[in-house]
Structure 1
Amino acid sequence: MTEKVDGGAVRAFADPRPRWLKTPSRYQMLSACSVAFMFAAWVFVTEFGFANELFLPHPAAVFNSFIKVATKGYQGSTLLEHVGTSLYRIMAGFSLACLVGIPLGIAMGVSRAANAVFNPAIEFYRPLPPLGLYTLLVMWLGIGEESKLALLFLAGLPGIIIATIQAVTTIDPIYVRAARSLGATRRQLLFQVYLPGAGPIILTGMRISLGFTYTVLVAAEIVAATAGIGWMIWDAAKFLLSDVVIMGLIVLGLTGVMLDVIMRLVGKLLMPWTRRQRTNA
């Protein structure tokens, strides 16, 4: 929306309507068309027999599987219980990775000594495959929840540390020197300079790390688990229950999108200045 000002110039101002009442943008329409096209292709391939239903079932069969698992359950647990178990494991491992990774990343970004001490270990285990780590964790911690949470924690930790180091090292030194010249303590530097300045990049690293942790979930749940969306997918695949597998993958993807949206909303609430920067731009 626009208005005229002195001199005949036109100035834009924010639309006061709620976001859900606004007309969808061209890019939102493209996204909706992309999803509709993929769904239509799935229906077309299965409806006209171009794919074996044993490996690619019809969307109706997947929906019926969703209703059945949600109401009657799969292997003794309903879909809500499977999702809840997986979300607990994801959030426990990821939260621990944030609690350790963000302070450690700040320390490594600020101190060369801390970087020299911790960087070799992080760079060594970061490229190791999750299943390779999991075998060792099972030997050390057993087949219970401890090894699963430890794997998810280790999967999410490197991305958070690297993003935090990058965020801290890109802060303009002028801000740090100005705060020190005004007598800022280390605690004040941390909470009033480093975290506000590095917050957006740290949040991006957390989102990427959460996505990677989510991909490791299936590996964490294939050993001695009796519930969890990843375990359900793995168990159904052994019996060629492709409708349950695809339904589980869709639920896994939707819950991942939901977590990412929540992360972005939390970032907007904790860092409102980033919204002002985008609006001014």
Structure 2
Amino acid sequence: MFRVGRGGVRVRGLVVRLVSLVAVVALWWAVSAAKLVDAQFLPTPQAVWHAFVRANSQHELAPGVPRQVRGEQNYFLWEHLVASLQRIGIGAGAAVVLGPPVGFLLGTSRAVSAIVEPYLNFLRMLPPLGYIGLLIVWFGIGDTSKDWLLFLAAFPPIVISTVAGVQGVSQDRINAARSLGANRLQVITRVLFPSTLPEIIGGVRVAVGFAWTTVVAAELNNGIPGIGGLAYLAGQQLNTPLTVACIIVIGLTALALDAVIKWIGAVLVPWKGRA
């Protein structure tokens, strides 16, 4: 019997993904080329690629009009993407910083948990579109309301994951540390935090993913530059190729963000998954 090493498994997985991608694109091209679906609803891969290239280059405002414009809405597509990532960095970044301490507080104090947890779950269940209007009233249509929306989307998953991690730590380990003379702070930093870190990383993955899916809602109003705002505006203008191009960019960026967080988790908690 031959044993396949990790390198072989990764290569095989990569080949399977590439074959799957080629098959999906080929099916997409065949359906659009056969005109089984109207081009307004399903543009061809060539049309989407043309929209992507146009959004990343200077071009004429209209055929025969010599005026040159930059990308779409006077921003290149990568500039729209960077603007959205900056909002994610501020909103979700604040949640990553504040979420674990709040989670530790709730996980170690039953009284605080009994008071705060119902409100946290209430916030977690609210769809972002349900309170984006209120945030705009409070903070205006600038980036402040968008940052708050992304923070509120990312904060509850991180806190809840941290609480679950803290409550999942064996009481015997805590008692053993205390019997050796560890104070409350040392128990948190030497026992609870390392034991809870895998759950925190998992919560961050969920939170950043949810915040990224909320970026379109965050950029519904005054979202230019922004990849979500551009996708929404392109849809309103029935520019389907550009809309699909934005959707693909949003999806690929989500995969990249998740891969980075997963890699950071593997670096911080290398013992996870090992016997």
5 Å-filtered alignment, 1:89-168, equals 89-168=87-166
Following the alignment from structure 1 to structure 2, what is the Cα–Cα distance between the partners of residues 13 and 145?
A: 50
Aligned partner of 2:61 in structure 1 is: none
Following the alignment from structure 1 to structure 2, what is the Cα–Cα distance between the partners of residues 203 and 132?
A: 28
CA positional deviation for 1:40: 1.7
Q: What SS does the corresponding residue of 1:248 show, helix, strand or coil?
A: helix
Following the alignment from structure 1 to structure 2, what is the Cα–Cα distance between the partners of residues 227 and 259?
A: 20
Aligned partner of 1:42 in structure 2 is: 28
Q: What SS does the corresponding residue of 1:272 show, helix, strand or coil?
A: coil
Following the alignment from structure 1 to structure 2, what is the Cα–Cα distance between the partners of residues 174 and 13?
A: 40
CA positional deviation for 1:177: 0.9
CA positional deviation for 1:249: 0.4
Aligned partner of 1:68 in structure 2 is: 54
In structure 2, which of residues 237, 262, 265 is the aligned counterpart of residue 264 of structure 1? 262
Residues 173 and 236 of structure 1: CA distance in aligned 2, closer, same or farther (over 3 Å): same
Which AA in structure 2 matches 1:101? G
Residues 173 and 82 of structure 1: CA distance in aligned 2, closer, same or farther (over 3 Å): same
Structure 1, gaps ≥5 residues long: 3-11
Give the length in aligned residue pairs. Answer: 263
Following the alignment from structure 2 to structure 1, what is the Cα–Cα distance between the partners of residues 193 and 5?
A: 29
Aligned partner of 1:237 in structure 2 is: 235
Contact 2:154–2:210 under 8 Å retained in 1: yes
Q: CA RMSD in A?
A: 2.0
CA positional deviation for 1:108: 0.7
Following the alignment from structure 1 to structure 2, what is the Cα–Cα distance between the partners of residues 55 and 105?
A: 45
CA positional deviation for 1:181: 1.1
Structure 2, gaps ≥5 residues long: 59-70
Aligned partner of 1:5 in structure 2 is: none
CA positional deviation for 1:24: 4.3
Q: What SS does the corresponding residue of 1:41 show, helix, strand or coil?
A: helix
CA positional deviation for 1:14: 6.6
CA positional deviation for 1:120: 2.1
Following the alignment from structure 2 to structure 1, what is the Cα–Cα distance between the partners of residues 222 and 52?
A: 24
CA deviation digits over 1:197-256, x for unaligned, max 9?
111122111111111111110010011222100000011111111110000000000111
